[in-house]
């Protein structure tokens, strides 16, 4: 029997009078080193009170990232470049067809509570998935967002099979956040076989996507759902002109 964690009591709003969160969507594929450098620079500026908060939506070329808890044994086939991310968590995959959303927020303006922030990110994803008729769930022993797969073989103890549809990995420095979430829209799911995703190897746990679940959603559709769900939890956003690697 799986146990879900409850979402926090939204919203996770900034203090009254704070400017809207910048909402930036980059076209094409963005290299991971460039994205990491841009994130770190923005988080540093936010912590210093010199920049506004930002959510940056993008896609990466195929690659694996290793979080601070990654085990080398979980890198099964390094067929793609591997990057040490500095975020929490273990190995994960990024690639075309996956919407990555990097959240650079100031928790001093909101709630300086790391656990509450992670659960707020999960709530954001669950709200976006609901727009496509997908019931995302959280688990006490697993970070990220999962969907039940009663069509697949059950575990030995009779538990329903589950697939992960969205991953979360965060880093917080001086209460400024970076890294964020990754939602599988229509990636090549075979690319996940080069790692043990997030260190979870049980046979009845897998990886899925909106496309795999039969939901025909464009990236623009997903972006709109993510923005609407984000605003319900975190507050207003302001769209910026597209940029490949933002300043």
Would you say 85 is a known binding-site residue? no
Q: Single out the residue of 28, 68, 23, 25 nearest to residue 199, CA to CA.
A: 68
Q: Evaluate whether 144 touches 192 at the Cβ level (below 8 Å).
A: no
133 is in an annotated binding site: no
Is residue 3 annotated as involved in ligand binding?
no
Q: Is 90 assigned to a binding site?
A: yes
Cβ neighbours for 84, distance < 8 A, ≥ 6 positions apart? 65, 66
Q: Which residues are catalytic?
A: 198
Q: Is 88 annotated as a binding residue?
A: yes
86 is in an annotated binding site: no
Q: What is the distance between the alpha carbons of residues 84 and 65, in angstroms, rounded to a whole number?
A: 6
β 54-59/63-66 pair status: unpaired
Which pair of tokens denotes residue 235?
């507050």
Ligand-binding site membership of 98 (annotated): no
Numbered residues of the known binding site for substrate? 87-94, 167-169, 180-182
């Amino acid at each position: 029997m799986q146990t879900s964690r409850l979402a926090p009591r939204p919203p996770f709003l900034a203090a009254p009078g704070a400017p809207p969160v910048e909402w930036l969507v980059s076209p094409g594929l963005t290299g991971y080193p460039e994205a990491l450098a841009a994130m770190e620079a923005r988080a540093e500026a936010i912590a210093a009170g010199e920049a506004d908060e930002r959510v940056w939506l993008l896609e990466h070329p195929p690659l694996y990232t290793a979080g601070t808890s990654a085990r080398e044994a979980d890198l099964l086939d390094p067929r793609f470049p591997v990057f040490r991310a500095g975020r929490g968590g273990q190995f994960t995959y990024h690639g075309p067809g996956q919407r990555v959303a990097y959240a650079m927020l100031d928790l001093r303006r909101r709630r300086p509570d790391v656990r509450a922030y992670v659960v707020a990110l999960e709530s954001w994803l669950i709200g976006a998935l609901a727009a496509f008729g997908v019931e995302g769930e959280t688990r006490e022993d697993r970070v990220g967002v999962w969907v039940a797969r009663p069509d697949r073989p059950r575990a030995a103890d009779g538990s329903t099979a589950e697939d992960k549809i969205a991953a979360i990995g965060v880093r917080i420095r001086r209460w400024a956040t970076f890294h964020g979430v990754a939602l599988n829209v229509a990636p090549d799911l075979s690319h996940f076989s080069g790692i043990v995703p997030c260190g979870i190897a049980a046979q009845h746990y897998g990886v899925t996507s909106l496309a795999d679940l039969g939901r025909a959603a464009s990236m623009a559709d997903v972006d709109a759902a993510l923005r609407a769900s984000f605003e319900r939890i975190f507050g207003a956003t302001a769209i910026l002109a597209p940029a490949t690697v933002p300043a």
